[in-house]
Amino acid sequence: MAYAAKLIICCGQEEVEQIPVSETVFIGRRKKGSPVEVQVDCPFAAEMHGKLIKEECGYTYRDLGSEYGTYYNGGKIGSRYTEGNHHVKLSDGDVLKIDNPQFGTGDDRAVVIIFRGREEDKCEWKVLELEDKDASFFLSCREETGGEEIQEEQSAEGGELPKRFALLKHDGHRWTVTEHNTKYGIYVNGQLIKERQGLNPLDVVRIGKTLFLYRSGRLEYNHHEASGNRLTIHIEERSVWKMFRRQLLLKDIDLTVEPGAMVLVLGGSGAGKTTFVNAVMGYEKARGTITKDGVDVYKNYNRMKYDIGFVPQQDWLRLEDSVIETLENAAEIKLPERVTAAERKGRVEEVLALMGLERERDSLVGKLSGGQRKRLSIAVEYIVDPSLFFLDEPDSGLDGIMARHLMACLREIADNNKIILVITHSPDRIIDLFDKVIVLAKGKEDNVGHLAFYGSPREAKEFFETDSMEGIVRKMNREDEGGEGLSDIYIEKYRQIEEI
């Protein structure tokens, strides 16, 4: 499947429009006969206003020197009258706006465009009327509550207040939103807020995957249905026996991974990354529960193991076989007996194309480059089309260009509603391809691996107050390992956030 994104567009008082995009498109003012692919009904938009550029691993937006420019997450990125950068790389949830502030803050003439990095779970847009200015509302996202995204404050009286929410309330002048310990943070027009924020028409509030679009007199939001193929991880502990003594390796790890996510497993030396992956796969069971799409992996391991792929750091390929022979043998061994010969052949050809190995189909494995051999190792495991895929340092020994190409292939696999967990020691060169980061850290006091963070790469940098993934590892490592020895501080910091 091609890398699919979506533009959520709101022009003035028109209904929200959702436009899927899978290639480079132009954005401009609606006009009869215009060749522009994405047309908006906005007087401030030029006939050829901007360009959404599809690149190998995402999208970039460029303002084409328009008169009024484009606002990106609240800041202006360019117009024909301004100098500086006119293009930005887009991340999921980024907000573009075409407006002229000289006309005030009304929502009848401007246009807002929300970028969604890939196809969403099935959702519909709902409307909350804001006629009663004395009412207050709790906003959250379905990932946090498993239920509705909005609750009216009165309905919570006599009951338990949600643990994580944003408060929408009118202060006598305008509607405001205040953050109250949400797990994912609150973004207004792409900017993380820490305190109360007043809302202007066409402001976009984002919590997790849920979007709230404020318009005069109402709030519109994308209501998500429950996702299938969700991975839920609850590890109470993972231990081993050594010299008649029980040694604790991991403890208290709880998180949920949504389908379509590519997740980086990050941690310093001895933090328990491989132990964690083995426990989630069911290869080395922990005390706890691992479920995929509601099915217990441990209790149903004989059935679930065929839905799980694992590519170790060291490949075990036969050097004297050709690429096509390797995949044909894998298909014959791994695919169920009910799969016909024609279906096996089709699957082999599909995986060959996905991993970019068509030109090497007749080459001997022993003659392949390091990157080609690693892609073949991935193809061997992916032949059964697993929904959970684990990879241990797949880019080890590869240069930056080859590593990025390999990870781009994994990104495409994840976009097919799969879940991919990757351990790598060179994360910063490909971090933009990941949706989430799991940070494991070994406590200095108990010498046990704990969950120190789970969230997006951007949120991880904010949480650890660093500008790189390597900077996170450096903070987690002990001083005698070249680190700062701060693991206990961040383990406790994340634990307190989770308990709120």
Report CA-CA distances (Å) from 318 to 19, 43, 57, 351, 368.
Answer: 47, 64, 32, 19, 12
Q: What is the pLDDT of residue 401?
A: 86
**Total structural domains within the chain:** 3
Q: Provide the 10 A C-beta neighbour count for residue 83.
A: 6
Q: Are residues 134 and 255 part of one domain?
A: no
385 plus 424 within the same structural domain: yes
Structure confidence by residue, pLDDT tens digits, 187-221: 899 888 888 899 988 999 988 778 899 988 889 98
Q: Which of 119, 145, 165 represents a domain boundary (last residue)?
A: 119
CA dihedral 424, 426, 431, 434 (to 10 degrees): -10
CA distances from 395 to 193, 351, 426 (A): 36, 19, 8
| CATH, residue 5 | 2.60.200.20
Predicted TM-score (pTM) of this structure = 0.61
Lowest mean pLDDT among 136-140, 155-159, 472-476: 155-159
- For residue 168, what pLDDT band results from cuts at 50, 70 and 90? very high
Across the chain, mean pLDDT equals: 85
User: 469-476 vs 487-499: helix axis angle to the nearest 10?
Assistant: 110
pLDDT of residue 52: 94
Average pLDDT of the residues in 165-173: 88
Domain span at residue 175 reads 122-225
Q: Quickly state the pLDDT bin for 162 (edges 50, 70, 90).
A: low
Of the candidates 59, 85, 119, which is a domain's last residue?
119
Give me the percent of the chain exceeding a pLDDT of 70: 88
Residue pLDDT, tens place only, 419-450: 999 999 889 999 999 999 999 999 888 889 99
If asked whether residues 287 and 159 sit together in one domain, one would say no
pLDDT tens for each residue of 291-328: 988 788 998 888 888 789 898 877 788 999 999 999 99
DSSP β-bridge partners for residue 451: 440
The residue-averaged pLDDT of 270-290 equals 91
CA end-to-end distance (rounded Å), the chain: 40
22 and 68 inside one domain:
yes
The pLDDT of residue 57 is: 65
